[in-house]
């Protein structure tokens, strides 16, 4: 099987493929020749230059690599070509198995306007909205529903093409900008409008469908912790749902999946507002946050995808156990509005211990660039209840150490430690409201101290060694060499 992706998701898929007895083929761009995913597969093939458009989005080059290596299946991962009906059709036409839904399902799910129409047809509520978005339509929609309104790309994903407009004077410029962004990102500039809900929660349901038309659901994921309309912390189950609301949402997700003839793994996303919920979109692929579902249901969703692609039938899984939380660490500067960051991986320490899973491609020596999505690592914590999972997540974020490239672990730690998160009471607004109160200084100093210590020592220094440094009077102590300072108590 060829894995048409990079980063943590390529490694994660290669691992399951290998455990399932498959030989694996990786593909890599010129920027990624030294990346771990290329080394992890049985075979690796170059597919083009760094720009994703000419490599990871280059369908013909990927299919050619698959045929040349004798692969008989392609797993697209998430992002890139994973939801491209055209790519899935080309893969099938080349005599290969596409590990995902068939092209018809990808087309139906990928068009948000069409998916909204389908939801309405099967009786699933949608946010009040339109099917097009020219200036006149937008003006009359706003006159009817009031501002703010949300502009969205019909082909959108990953938070791109979205604009919130709170005043008529911004409308024209926002429509132009959104259309340009959508055209550039998705080669499809079609827009539509939705009423903007001020403080909803994002809750989604995992679905799986087999070739015989059976659909099962694997619980929900709470994904309200977002920046730029993209998730950074997810958990399962959602602390916001009553059993009655959960049952209604699961039923709605299953009805929609059945109505599109869903096959393989996918996600139905909703906004929750009080006791009401609204359909958002169908993501016809494996989701970044799938590990929290795996930990609760003790399953391997990639293995299930492989089974479904091979024509196997679904059966119900045993009920879920406990609670799981995922923290996504990005190469970004949280203190500068999550601006993308780049740099080498110098010192790295990954967490471990009971209930902790780390999905990452980080390894010392590699260079993090800005060509691709900045996701560096996912720290996933399982606990028998929410508080145990939360404490384990805090411990994992404390243990996580990475110098050389700015990242968001200390911001995530502050969020997970915050009172609203501990209580489970937050909406999609939380991150933007919390960010201005956050003080990154102490964490940055700690990271700088570790880097300085590493330079002085000429080798990696662990966080605990750095903390002991102040009391350490040996001549080689980095604290001696640098005019030591220490965070926390003096000893
Ligand atoms: P999830 O909903 O699984 O958490 P995200 O929205 O965070 O997914 O996106 C996961 C990855 O896929 C990111 O790299 C994002 O930029 C990319 N992505 C999502 N949707 C699309 C799309 N329609 N086209 C291209 N890339 C996408
Ligand atoms: P994408 O395809 O980029 O993931 P979504 O439609 O799933 O786009 O929306 C992404 C995020 O934007 C949601 O998780 C939510 O936080 C926010 N959002 C989307 N629609 C609305 C809305 N009508 N009102 C308020 N927030 C919204
Ligand atoms: Mg979405």
- In this predicted structure, what is the pLDDT of residue 346? 86
Length of the chain: 491
Equal fold, 128-195 vs 201-309: no
Omega of the bond prior to 148 within 30 degrees of 0, cis?
Answer: yes
How far away, in angstroms, is 205 Cα from ligand 3 center? 12
DSSP state of 471: G
Provide, rounded to the nearest whole percent, the portion of the chain with pLDDT above 70: 90
Supply the pLDDT for residue 459. Answer: 57
Q: What is the pLDDT of residue 472?
A: 46
pLDDT at 473 over 80: no
Ligand with the closest atom to the CA of 164: 2
Determine if ligand 1 sits within 6 Å of the CB of residue 283.
Answer: yes
Atom of ligand 2 nearest to the CA of 159: 3
Q: What is the DSSP letter of 160?
A: B
Q: What integer is the mean pLDDT of 407-431?
A: 96
Closest CA to 151 of 186, 195, 114, 112: 195
What is the pLDDT of the chain when averaged over all its residues?
92
* 2-99 to CATH, choices 3.40.50.920, 3.30.1330.200, 3.20.20.70, 3.40.50.20: 3.40.50.20
pLDDT at residue 468, rounded to an integer: 47
Q: Is the pLDDT of residue 467 over 80?
A: no
Nearest CA to ligand 1 atom 10: 79
Question: Per-residue pLDDT averaged across 314-342, rounded?
Answer: 96
Residue with CA nearest ligand 2 atom 2:
157
CATH top-level class of 128-195: alpha beta
pLDDT over 50 (residue 466): no
Q: What is the mean pLDDT of residues 468-491?
A: 44
Find residue 165's DSSP bridge partners.
Answer: 149
Give percent above pLDDT 90 in the chain. Answer: 85
Would you say 7 and 375 are in contact if contact means Cβ atoms under 8 Å apart? yes
**Nearest protein Cα to ligand 2, atom 17:** 229
Q: Is the pLDDT of residue 489 over 80?
A: no
Q: How far is the CA of 174 from the centre of ligand 3 (A)?
A: 20
Question: Tell me: the pLDDT tens digits for 117-152?
Answer: 999 999 999 999 999 999 999 999 999 999 999 999
User: Is residue 255 pLDDT above 50, yes or no?
Assistant: yes
Q: Does any ligand 1 atom lie closer than 6 A to the CB of residue 101?
A: no
Higher-pLDDT residue of 143, 488? 143
Name the residue at shortest CA distance from atom 1 of ligand 2: 157
Q: Which ligand is nearest to the CA of 78?
A: 1
Right CATH for 323-482 from 3.40.50.300, 3.30.470.20, 3.40.640.10, 3.30.1490.20: 3.30.470.20
Span from the CA of 232 to the centroid of ligand 2 (angstroms): 14
* Per-residue pLDDT tens digits for 329-384: 999 999 899 999 999 998 899 999 999 999 999 999 999 999 999 999 999 999 99
Say how many Å lie between the CA of residue 429 and the centre of ligand 2: 12
Is any ligand 1 atom within 6 A of the Cβ of residue 234?
Answer: no
- Identify the pLDDT of residue 440: 73
Q: Could you say which of 3.30.470.20, 3.20.20.80, 3.40.50.620, 3.40.50.1220 is the CATH number of the domain covering 201-309?
A: 3.30.470.20
Structure confidence at residue 404 (pLDDT): 86
The ranges assigned to domains in the chain are 2-99, 128-195, 201-309, 323-482
- Which ligand is nearest to the Cα of residue 198, counting in written order? 2
Task: State yes or no: pLDDT of 223 exceeds 80.
Answer: yes
């Amino acid at each position: 099987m060829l894995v048409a992706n990079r980063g943590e998701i390529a490694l994660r898929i290669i691992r399951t493929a290998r455990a399932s007895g498959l030989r694996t083929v990786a593909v890599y761009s010129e920027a990624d020749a030294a990346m771990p995913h290329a080394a992890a597969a049985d075979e690796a093939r170059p597919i083009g230059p760094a720009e994703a458009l000419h490599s990871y989005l280059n369908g013909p080059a990927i299919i050619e690599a698959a045929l040349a290596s004798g692969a008989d299946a392609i797993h697209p991962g998430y992002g890139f070509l994973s939801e491209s009906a055209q790519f899935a059709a080309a893969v099938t036409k080349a005599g290969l198995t596409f590990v995902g839904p068939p092209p018809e399902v990808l087309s139906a799910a990928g068009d948000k306007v069409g998916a909204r129409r389908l939801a309405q047809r099967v009786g699933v509520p949608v946010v009040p909205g339109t099917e097009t978005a020219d200036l006149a339509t937008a003006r009359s929609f706003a006159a009817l529903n009031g501002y703010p309104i949300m502009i969205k790309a019909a082909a959108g994903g990953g938070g791109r093409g979205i604009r919130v407009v709170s005043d008529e004077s911004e409308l024209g410029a926002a429509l132009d900008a959104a259309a340009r962004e959508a055209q550039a990102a998705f080669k499809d500039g079609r827009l539509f409008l939705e009423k903007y809900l001020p403080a909803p929660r994002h809750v989604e349901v995992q679905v799986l469908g087999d070739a015989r038309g059976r659909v099962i659901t694997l619980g929900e994921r709470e994904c309200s912790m977002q920046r730029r309309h993209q998730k950074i912390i997810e958990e399962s189950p959602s602390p916001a749902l009553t059993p009655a609301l959960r049952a209604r949402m699961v039923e709605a997700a299953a009805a929609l999946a059945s109505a599109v003839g869903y096959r393989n793994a996918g996600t139905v996303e909703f906004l929750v507002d009080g006791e009401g919920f609204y359909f958002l979109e169908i993501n016809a692929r494996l989701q970044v946050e799938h590990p929290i579902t795996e930990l609760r249901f003790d399953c391997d969703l990639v293995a299930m995808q492989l089974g479904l692609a091979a024509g196997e039938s679904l059966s119900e899984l045993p009920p879920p156990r406990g609670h799981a939380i995922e923290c996504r660490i990005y190469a970004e500067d949280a203190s500068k509005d999550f601006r993308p960051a780049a740099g080498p991986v110098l010192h790295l320490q990954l967490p471990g211990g009971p209930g902790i899973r780390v999905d990452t491609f980080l390894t010392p020596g590699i260079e993090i660039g800005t060509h691709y999505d900045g996701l560096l690592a996912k720290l996933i914590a399982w606990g028998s209840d929410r508080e145990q999972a939360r404490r384990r997540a805090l411990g994992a974020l404390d243990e996580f150490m990475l110098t050389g490239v700015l990242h968001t672990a200390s911001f995530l730690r502050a969020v997970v430690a915050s009172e609203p998160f501990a209580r489970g009471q937050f909406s999609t607004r939380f991150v933007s409201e919390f960010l201005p109160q956050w003080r990154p200084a102490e964490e940055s100093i700690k990271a700088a101290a570790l880097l300085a210590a590493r330079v002085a020592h000429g080798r990696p220094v662990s966080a605990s060694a750095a903390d002991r440094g102040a009391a350490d009077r040996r001549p080689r102590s980095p604290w001696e060499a640098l005019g030591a300072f220490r965070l926390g108590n003096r000893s």
